[in-house]
Every structure is written in C-alpha cells, then in structure tokens.
Amino acid sequence: MVPSAADEIRSVVITPVGQGPWPGVLLYTDIFQLTESTLRTARRLASYGFIVCVPEIYPHGDLAGVALEFDDAGKQAGMAGAAATSIADFDADRVAVLDYLENRSDTTTLLATGFCIGGHLAFRAAFDPRVAATVCFYPTGLHNGALGADADAGSLARAADIRGPLLIVFGSQDPHVPADARIQIISELYAAGLDDLELHIYRGGEHAFMRDIGVRHDPVLTDLALTEAVTFFQGR
C-alpha cells in the first residue's frame, strides 16, 4: 500500500533480481486496473532493470481493490470510475506514488509510463520535475481533454511544464486517437517548445495493441514498442 492524503493506494511493486539501486517507474494501468495482463507487462519492464510501481487508478471508491474483466461490464465500470474521479484526485495520487518511489532506498531516477487512460495520466506525471522521462502508450483524451470528472483536463495546455524527454506511441488504426487527433497533439507539443520528443506510430496497430488478451493484441508490435520504451528510458 502506498500512503496518500485521501487513503492508501493499493499498488503492486515489482523489483529486478539483484541489489540495485535501479530507476523507479510509475506505471499506470488502463481502465481495468491491476489485471494480470498489465502486470505481465510490468514484470517484463522490471526485468530490464527497473523498479516498477503499478498503482490502482481508482483507489478510493467502489473500485478499490477490483481488477475489472475485459468485457462490456468491466469496460462500463472502468469508464464510470474515470468519470467519477476529479483531475485533482488523479494528480494527488500521482504525487503520493512518486513520493513513495523517491523515498525508497533502492531507487535512482524517476520515470513514468502508462496505457490508454494511463498514458494520459503518465503525460500528466511528466509535469512533475522529478520525472526524468516519460513514455505514453496510446494515451486517450490528450487532444480533447477527456480524462476524469472535469470537463477538460487541460493537459495539452500544460505541455510547457514538461521538462524531461517524452515518447508517445500510437497504433495507426486507433479509433480513439485518429490521425487528425495525433496531428493536433504533436503540433501543440512542438508549439509548447517540447523538442525532446518522439512520436512512434505503428502501422496496423489498434487501440490497446499491447494488451495480451483479445483480438487487438499484436505481439510483434508489442515487442517493438516495449523495446523502444526500454531503450528510451535507459538513455536517460
């Protein structure tokens, strides 16, 4: 459990084999929370030499302690959890998890990543000057501000607050972030002065192509994207 101002945040922490210290990665899940699918990805990332902390994104309400199923009911519950969470609550939980990672005796650099809604949350984690680098996998809601209970998260408007390098990954067939939305995102990031920026668009990739359950999963693209992320983090 990670302590926070509101309540404890249920989290899974995965460490590499060895003595450390290692870089610490805040890894945000998609709307389904701490599923075995996401934790498999977290374990893979940890095996490259990172401490990976995976918090619940809805730790204080009815979904606390719940890993949702990848079905319609799970999707609706996850979306309802997002709609009930304010940006201020998301941000406060982020500070709590980064504080936890920073205060561990075996962590060095702080990094952030996430998937889908978690990709958007990772983008906001990059506002924290302690975060040395960030990888956002198919972040939803960046172009239109959709994230939680607030009408507009205003994340892109705060892009100039990002000091570390940023890598964003999309699939070319993602209906949630189509080509015009991707163009908007990259244009606004460059306009904000972010020049240490990489955008990777994987041809044929659908939304959530890295989730290893379901027909959208693409193992080849998953390996490519994870390798790019590890290389990106290791260079920081």
Average pLDDT over residues 103-131: 98
Query: Annotated catalytic, 71?
Result: no
Question: Is 21's pLDDT higher than 90?
Answer: yes
pLDDT digits (tens, 9 = 90+) for 183-222: 999 999 999 999 899 999 999 999 999 999 999 999 999 9
Q: Are 117 and 83 in contact (CB under 8 A)?
A: no
Condensed to tens digits (0 to 9), the pLDDT of residues 135-188 reads 999 999 999 999 999 999 999 999 999 999 999 999 999 999 999 999 999 999
Residue 13's pLDDT is what? 98
Among candidate residues 120, 143, 200, 207, the one labeled active-site is 207
Domains of the chain listed by start with CATH number: 11-234 (3.40.50.1820)
Is 174 considered catalytic here? yes
* Encoded tokens for 14: 């995965």
- How distant is the alpha carbon of residue 217 from its chain centre? 18
How far separated are the first and last CA of the chain, in Å rounded? Answer: 28
Q: For this structure, is 136 an active site residue?
A: no
The yes-or-no verdict on residue 56 having pLDDT over 80 is yes
List the beta bridge partners of residue 169. Answer: 137, 200
- Whether the predicted model's global pTM rises above the 0.75 cut: yes
| Gyration radius (Cα) of the chain, Å | 16
- Residue 52 above 90 pLDDT? yes
The answer on pLDDT for 1 being more than 90 is no
Angle at alpha carbon of residue 92, lines to 42 and 25, rounded to 5°:
25
Name the nearest CA neighbour of 55 among 110, 95, 109, 102.
95
Mean pLDDT on 26-47: 98
Please pick, among 116, 128, 136, 218, the residue that the annotation labels catalytic: 116
**pLDDT bucket at 39, cuts 50 / 70 / 90:** very high
Of the CA atoms within 13 Å of residue 13, those in its CB half-sphere come to 16
Amino acid of residue 108: T
Per DSSP, which regions of 123-175 are E strands? 131-137, 166-171
